[in-house]
Amino acid sequence: MSDLEKKSIDPATIQMLKKAQVDGCETIFDRADAMKPCPIGAEGSCCKHCVMGPCRVPAPKKKGETPAEKTRRTGLCGATAETISARNFARMVAAGTAAHSDHARGVTEVFLSTAKGEVPGFEIKDEQKLYQLAMDLGVEIGNRSVREIAIDVGHKALSEFGRQEGEILLAKRAPLKRQEIWRNLGVYPRGIDREVVDLLHRTCMGVDQEYKDLLLSAARCSLADGWGGSMISTELQDVLFGTPVPVMGKMNLGVLKKDEVNVVIHGHEPLLPEIIVGVLQDPEIQKAARTVGAKGINLTGMCCSANEVLMRHGIPVGGNFLQQELAIVTGVVDAMVVDVQCEMQSLAQVAKCYHTKLITTSPRAKIEGAMHMEFDERHAQDVAKKILMVAIDNYKNRKPNVEIPTETTDTVVGFSHETINYLLGGVFRASYRPLNENIINGRIRGIAGVVGCNNARVTHDEPNFILIKELIKNDVLVLVTGCSAMAAGKGGLLTPEAAKLYAGEGLASVCETVGIPPVLHMGACVDNSRILMAATAVVKDGGLGDDISDLPAAGAALEWMSEKAIAIGQYFVASGVFTVFGVTWPTTGSEEVTKYLFEEFENTLKGKWGFEPDPLKAAKLMIEHIDKKRKALGIDKARERVLFDMAKRRELDAA
Ligand code: BF8
Ligand code: SF4
């Protein structure tokens, strides 16, 4: 196996890496070879919170240093390794929370304008969800019009960002016991922006210098993301664009088409992508595409934007984070349209190697060398059409070095929290009861959320794919979002048939009865809030304890790279979930800080972090945790009986 072939488990990715090499086009995979991560920064031991530094306070070479040795290891201001490491960790949480929540703010503003009827092209698609949200936000329904209710919901949601007093409203959706834990610890999230500002303030030079206090504040900030910003995004996007229901969709670079104009939408906010989907069928646009000799326009998604339009429209997915440059390497992407987050600056360089027009659209994110066509919700359709026309015009500029991988995989996606509810319980008696019953009787051992990114420091898609396969083999139902959902999809795990092929007998029997895949795609990264809602629904349905931390459940992000992933992991931990990360752990510079996150959080928040880059070992940790929770609930014996029954059945079948 050549070095190149070890970069990914996905053949389409390898094929494009080889092509990039032939074309002389550099990608992130090359840069990862050329530049190693800084070891001091990697362990969270570098502080540059003031210009007397940067101060480097690396972990001690030997274990068990004396207190005197330890005091000598500080920054100029005396900040200890613990403070520096906790501050760095907390800043990651603040940045991740800011990213999800600023996305949410944008969605809320468009939602409010839609409610007021100010933005053509946008409408309220899911009234049922609007009513539910209105109730949770304390908006009166009565016999008021949808418009009136929606305007109030928009205002209420918007005021959650700048809230100065009280508690974030949607956090009241959490189980009561969970809310009590937050209140007792003083980590109940207040305003969304307030928590981000609070954390940036206390991590400044000379402010909060007690690592436990810093880490609890980070927990509070992350909760403002999970139960605040991210949840508002998901809710309002569903109200505006429809709550996902099961839909078929294809994944991988093979979805690009040689004889059509290819437009890749990449990023996170579904606002412009939804409008692009809408204007695609415009006869004028279709005609323009045919005039340049193309058979039509092929829309493809990349990263979380892909998840959004896949879940709601079945638009094919080009790939995940590490495939963004490689889509362009095919030579057939006529335009790549980006908004915010996870867009590599190198796209501009890669686009130059081919003919691709890179188009930035967000007022928050411009890229040097890209064309900027700003998304303006008041003229969204015009902007969308102009973007498509740029792509159409560019079709003629394709160079001869075109090569599209053949790989595409079929998937069934669209498992919102509401959809799972309906599928399990039926439209008229929607409930999580059948899921709870199957967890209690042991057919389903537990639930795992496997989420997060790709990371150029590990083999692309491999840790996520192996982990997910191992979990379902052991009867753990897996929920996926973000880029890990695409690792599952490309690997063939997002189909009902995958249950028979890969799942343990117990899980497979449930999946076959309900007709669902053993791995449920729940959406983009902001939609991790759907997992919080699903976990809460399971708790509320009864029989599995009275808090999320009682559930036989665990989370993981083995290929994480973004600060957003740390914010997500932290809100899962602060919601009571054991969460395992891979690749590298950002606080190893301080044993105390790491121990606090990995062990002591369990005593207070009843959830904790874990670190394990090896996917099989990570699966083992998660399954052990699930079994520990089953035992505490007194349902461990039921599973043994189910497995025994199955062995008996097989024996009888064989006889
Ligand atoms: O928000 S999983 S690489 S695309 S950060 Fe980015 Fe990570 Fe992908 Fe979406 Ni999430
Ligand atoms: Fe160094 Fe303290 Fe300044 Fe950080 S805040 S750079 S540890 S002097």
Q: Tell me which amino acid residue 337 is.
A: V
**Structure confidence at residue 428 (pLDDT):** 62
Residue 433 β-bridge partners? none
For residue 361, report the distance from its CA to the centre of ligand 1, in Å. Answer: 18
Q: Residue 99: CB partners within 8 Å, gap ≥ 6?
A: 340, 341, 563, 564, 567
For residue 342, report the distance from its CA to the centre of ligand 1, in Å. Answer: 6
Nearest bound ligand to the CA of residue 74: 2
Integer Cα distance of 44 and 370 in angstroms: 33
**Structure confidence at residue 644 (pLDDT):** 73
Per residue in 319-365, pLDDT (tens digit) is 999 999 999 999 999 999 999 999 999 999 999 999 999 999 999 99
512: pLDDT strictly greater than 90: yes
For residue 565, report the distance from its CA to the centre of ligand 1, in Å. Answer: 8
CB 77 less than 6 A from any atom of ligand 2: yes
Q: From the CA of 75, give the closest atom in ligand 2.
A: 7
CB 236 less than 6 A from any atom of ligand 1: no
**Structure confidence at residue 331 (pLDDT):** 98
Whether residue 269 contacts residue 362, with contact meaning beta carbons closer than 8 Å, is answered with yes
Lowest mean pLDDT among 384-393, 405-414, 426-435, 441-450: 426-435
Task: Give the helix ranges, DSSP H, for 162-254.
Answer: 176-185, 192-202, 211-224, 230-241
Per residue in 76-101, pLDDT (tens digit) is 999 999 999 999 999 999 999 999 99
pLDDT confidence of 62, banded at 50, 70, 90?
confident
61: pLDDT strictly greater than 80: no
Distance of CA 59 to the CA centre of its chain: 31
Integer Cα distance of 357 and 405 in angstroms: 21
How large a percentage of the chain has pLDDT more than 90?
90
CB 55 less than 6 A from any atom of ligand 2: yes
pLDDT confidence of 72, banded at 50, 70, 90?
confident
CB 294 less than 6 A from any atom of ligand 1: no
**Structure confidence at residue 638 (pLDDT):** 79
Per residue in 97-141, pLDDT (tens digit) is 999 999 999 999 999 999 999 999 999 999 999 999 999 999 999
Q: Give, in order, the Cα–Cα distances in Å from 112 to each of 133, 148, 229, 437.
A: 14, 11, 16, 41
**Structure confidence at residue 426 (pLDDT):** 65
Mean pLDDT across 179-208 = 98
CB 489 less than 6 A from any atom of ligand 2: no
Tokens in use for 88? 């760095």
Integer Cα distance of 359 and 568 in angstroms: 29
655: pLDDT strictly greater than 70: no
> Which of 237, 525, 558 for mutating ligand 1's site (highest number of atoms within 8 Å of CB)?
525
Mean pLDDT in the chain? 95
Integer Cα distance of 467 and 472 in angstroms: 9
Q: From the CA of 205, give the closest atom in ligand 2.
A: 5
Distance of CA 644 to the CA centre of its chain: 37
For residue 230, report the distance from its CA to the centre of ligand 1, in Å. Answer: 13
Integer Cα distance of 486 and 37 in angstroms: 26
**Structure confidence at residue 67 (pLDDT):** 75
Atom 7 of ligand 1, residue of closest alpha carbon:
453
Atom 9 of ligand 1, residue of closest alpha carbon:
304
Integer Cα distance of 504 and 511 in angstroms: 11
CB 485 less than 6 A from any atom of ligand 1: no
Give the 3-state secondary structure of residue 208.
coil
Q: Residue 230: CB partners within 8 Å, gap ≥ 6?
A: 100, 101, 104, 525, 526, 527, 528, 529, 568, 571
State pTM to two decimals: 0.96
29: pLDDT strictly greater than 90: yes
Q: Residue 149: CB partners within 8 Å, gap ≥ 6?
A: 130, 131, 134, 139, 140, 141
CB 452 less than 6 A from any atom of ligand 1: yes
Nearest bound ligand to the CA of residue 103: 1
Per residue in 428-485, pLDDT (tens digit) is 667 888 899 999 999 999 999 999 999 999 999 999 999 999 999 999 999 999 999 9
> Which of 45, 49, 204 for mutating ligand 2's site (highest number of atoms within 8 Å of CB)?
49
Q: Give, in order, the Cα–Cα distances in Å from 523 to each of 250, 261, 307, 527, 573.
A: 15, 26, 5, 6, 20
Q: From the CA of 562, give the closest atom in ligand 1.
A: 5
**Structure confidence at residue 427 (pLDDT):** 59
Integer Cα distance of 260 and 428 in angstroms: 44
CB 482 less than 6 A from any atom of ligand 1: yes
Nearest bound ligand to the CA of residue 96: 1
Whether residue 507 contacts residue 477, with contact meaning beta carbons closer than 8 Å, is answered with yes
Mean pLDDT across 375-399 = 96
Per residue in 618-646, pLDDT (tens digit) is 999 999 999 999 999 999 987 877 777 77
Query: Which is more confidently placed, 644 or 495?
Result: 495
69: pLDDT strictly greater than 80: no
**Structure confidence at residue 332 (pLDDT):** 98
Query: Which is more confidently placed, 424 or 230?
Result: 230
615: pLDDT strictly greater than 70: yes
Per residue in 567-610, pLDDT (tens digit) is 999 999 999 999 999 999 999 999 999 999 999 999 999 999 99
CB 48 less than 6 A from any atom of ligand 2: yes
Atom 5 of ligand 2, residue of closest alpha carbon:
205
